[in-house]
Structure 1
């Protein structure tokens, strides 16, 4: 039996989770000479359920981390998001885009953190924080980690950063989870279909009433592979006996409906070759569902809710929040611990209004006819198309497109 290497018993910062947020945070800290230990519950490279789309904010973060060229050498580039409505209308929104499976992307980011000086150990799972005292106010001074083969191991650190993704287990153990249910759920698979290469070149997103207040996507990957999936926002909005529970929706049935209403999806499902299992995953969105810190510990990435509700995009914002956590720790090196936490929480609070705007834009998922209206107008108005491109580039307000004022403007004379 091969036992995993033991992480050192002490370090400056222990980062738990080596996805985009954790690896970005670990690299940023290690660049400045801090002793950083990065752990993950899986050996790398490993699969991760995701749409794999890299939109402009992800490109910007990858550039800051110094790995954009390495990522783009392996990724499938794209120049548009194809927005498709239930009535068959389509508009291609331009942007800086690419697709790279998370198995490859996350490994690139993890290796970049190691090159910067972070030490990586796997498989180690976060079991509980180490506390200097008792109760919720007790400072975190490290973490108890567990391996299925090597048992328990303690690492003491000046700071612990939780970048553990959408599954709330670690948040619950740390006493920071304020919502156990996810914001949304998704199902995706990889399908090989060389016949669609050159025919599906944009990141296609489809809204249709048969998708039950959700959406479907097809993203072209390198090598004739396609990432196809369906997502459901506000998946756990139903109340049963006072508890939030999942809507009465079957994601596999949604996928079958996607194949019926969108011809490329139907062709992939009927004639493509599935690569591996179809996998589902929760989403944590809108910077909600968790406290962002406690003494000695910060929460970042999707554990903090860094995914946009309307688009389901989370890779770029995960890296961005990971860098923000690192910057707060670096800036607060000579300050009281409470000042570091306040600085980090303030940076997330500054992001929150944009996340709220994406929540407003979720009306398109609730009312697919809005997508048909926007697509129809964007095909006749460069101004509307430019506003949609601004949403993709984060220079525009997604909520305004579906506000009462925004809808009214859609009926103004075309220009």
Structure 2
């Protein structure tokens, strides 16, 4: 870390999709930007690697369509469950009609490189451990270099963007709090060789069963990566009242074994990892006068499918724009998050909470899987593929449900 990088206009902590997008957009807007991360890139991250049309649309805005199309391109979701298999194309509308899947080791490294090419200065291997305040502003972030008990280095900044993931250690320093009274996720993923790695459909099994045969409140997935392998994983939903008492890695192994013949899987699970996911804006303390949390750090994860890359990319773009419009983010940033995600997150986490109720999924799942129309509608809603510009009937119904749900929340998203 050179003396030239010891101060900056915009400091972004965390170089995942959210942080790299924020750094790229801020640098393109003319700001001096430092992008810092605790890991040394390229690095892995627990993720399904899937990119929905909402995410591909954001990557296209960054100018990465050609790069993304050089990877696998998928047409939609193959949904399995309750004796049915449905092919559900991506709905399109105001979003692209295609998706993709790129391992996070590659995706995040490329996004970080995009931020660098946009003008940001990137520093890795430095862990943010504290802040120095001047009144109600963050004047600097203290970093530790060289592991625990390493050298402490301070970077001063005019504005701070925190994008350090679901656990958000720097967010905690700033007062971020995760509220577990709403639904959260527990997920795991690994990689396996597959004869169907070029499949133009991603696959999800909505009837996820444990080794005892019982139906679990979650789903399993196989996302083709186009390089001879698939991302295979499972995710379950839980609340404080109904916690997920499940060993994720054994469940993931059982799920993969059940799918070996159908999907041509071979070998053992490689690089298995798991994570706990705050969802649906179930966090408070997401902004101060000159700082803001974005992406996973702000709980911007879809409660119905665990997707967070799209929100990370979006909030990175939003915060870069907002920092040019206001000097005080304390109220304006949470208001922006609620404007864009409040209604959809509220109704999505309410529906996801219902899924955790025993016997509800076995009762309703078979009826839903018998209807292509209903599942196509569910794909659009569950994938949050409704944009602010959509005016069709299903979009209006979703927004109507969101407003009604929001009115019932004792703790609305981001409060």
Taking structure 1 as the reference length, what is the TM-score of the superposition? Answer: 0.82
SS in 1 for 2:75: strand
Distance 2:3 2:261 in 1: 48
- For structure 1, list consecutive stretches of 5 or more residues without a partner in the other structure: 240-245, 404-415
Which of 35, 53, 56 is residue 53 of structure 2 equivalent to?
56
2:376 is the alignment partner of 1:374: no
Residue 386 of structure 1 and its aligned partner are, at CA, apart by 4.7
Supply the RMSD in Å over aligned alpha carbons: 2.6
Aligned to 1:255: 252
Partner in structure 2 of residue 226 of structure 1: 230
- Identify if the C-alpha distance between structure 1 residues 398 and 144 changes in structure 2 by more than 3 Å, giving closer, same or farther: farther
SS at match of 1:146: strand
2:78 to 58, 82, 87: 82
Contact 2:249–2:272 (8 Å) recurs in 1: no
| Contact in 1 for aligned 2:78/2:85 (Cα 8 Å) | yes
DSSP 3-state at the match of 1:354? helix
SS of 1:58 mapped into structure 2 = helix
Residues 152-171 of structure 1 aligned to structure 2 (within 5 Å): 152-171=152-171
Matched, 1:27 2:24: yes
Over residues 123-149 of structure 1, what are the superposed CA-to-partner deviations in whole Å (9 max), with x where a residue is unaligned?
A: 11110111114xxxx321121111126
Alpha-carbon distance in 1 for matches of 2:241, 2:152 = 39
Equivalent positions of 1:108-127 (< 5 A) are 108-127=110-129
Are the structure 2 counterparts of residues 90 and 67 from structure 1 closer, same or farther at C-alpha, using a change threshold of 3 Å? same
Equivalent in 300, 303, 306 of residue 297 of structure 2 = 303
SS in 1 for 2:365: helix
- Asked whether the equivalents of residues 228 and 265 of structure 1 are also in contact (C-alpha less than 8 Å), the reply is no
Matched, 1:208 2:207: yes
Q: After the TM superposition, which of the residue ranges 155-164 and 388-397 deviates more from structure 2?
A: 388-397
Matches of 1:201 and 1:353, distance apart in 2: 32
Give how far 1:232 is off: 1.3
SS at structure 1 position matched to 2:55: helix
1:102 aligns with 2:104: yes
Partners of 1:250 and 1:60 in 2: CA distance: 35
Calculate the TM-score normalised by the size of structure 2: 0.82
User: Which blocks of at least 5 consecutive residues in structure 2 are unaligned?
Assistant: 91-97, 211-215, 402-415
The answer as to whether partners of 2:47 and 2:189 remain within 8 angstroms in 1 is yes
Tell me the alpha carbon deviations over residues 338-379 of structure 1, each in whole angstroms, 9 at most, x when there is no partner: 3x443322210112111122223324565433333222111x
Residue 283 of structure 2: SS of its match in structure 1? coil
Indicate the SS of the match to 2:20.
Answer: helix
- Cα distance change, pair 266–90 in 1 and its aligned pair in 2 (3 A): closer
Q: Flag the 1:70–1:256 CA change in 2: closer, same or farther, 3 A.
A: closer
